[in-house]
Structure 1
Amino acid sequence: MIAETVCSAVAAAGLGIAAVTAYRKRYLAAARTAAYALVPLGLVMTGVIDWLADTAFSPTAWAGFGVLGLAWVLFASTRAVERRRGGTRKERRAAAAAQREAVAPQASAPSLGAGPRAASRPQSTSPGTSRGDSDDFSDIEAILKKHGI
């Protein structure tokens, strides 16, 4: 009962302020003030205030708000982990498949110095390299070929 009285008083005061504002020829501000003033009155008339008063003193309602809060925390944390990992599992699989199709093993083998084009390509010799260094890289090339890189 007291909540309805307070809301009605707030609405009456707000409408009075809106009237004074309109008297000063600030009609846009007066209309906005009147709109804000009518909100508590509308809440009283629709019964929302009664519902809020009943909810504020109900342990079941507070437990429900706690469950909603827990659901929100779980949702937010899973979204944060998902963004950190780079999307959903389905999106990661699609990205991995697209990456495998983009770089084929045949395309990367000549760039590593293996395959038929390697023989026709001239060997660049820098002052610090010897012929023995290319044998060291043959093991690495074999490992990379084995993994399709």
Structure 2
Amino acid sequence: MIAETICAAASVAGLGVAGITAYRKRFLAAARIAAYALVPLGLVLTGAVQWVVDTAFSPTAWIGFGLLGGAWALFMTTRAVERRSGVGRKERKAAAKAARREAVAPAASAPSLGRGARGGAAAPAEPAARPKASGGAGDDFSDIEAILKKHGI
């Protein structure tokens, strides 16, 4: 009951300030102040204030909040211990290794040498002749080619 009275008094005071501001010909600021002043009254009328008061003074609610906080602290502590001690690290490494071994589409990286669009045999793939670049730029391209060959591209 006292919380509702305080919210109503705050709304009346805010509307008074909004009235004085409007009297001074600052209508935009007065409308904004009136909007803020109506919020506590709206909370009282919707019952939100009563719910907050009931929750704040309820021992059951505080026990529930304490249990939630304890569960969160326990969860964060176990995460920290797991990261520090390496528990679970073996499982993560094994999963990463298995993911590297198994490709989603292993044949996707190999060029297709099967039948052509008309059902005939495709011609064997021949490497294209590349002109050699002279100067320092050739070294850069050879490095890139070596990296691409290393990755099978």
TM-score by length of 2: 0.48
Which has the higher relative contact order, 1 or 2, with Cα contacts under 8 A spaced 6 or more apart?
Answer: 1
The structure that is helix-richer by fraction is 1
TM-score by length of 1: 0.49
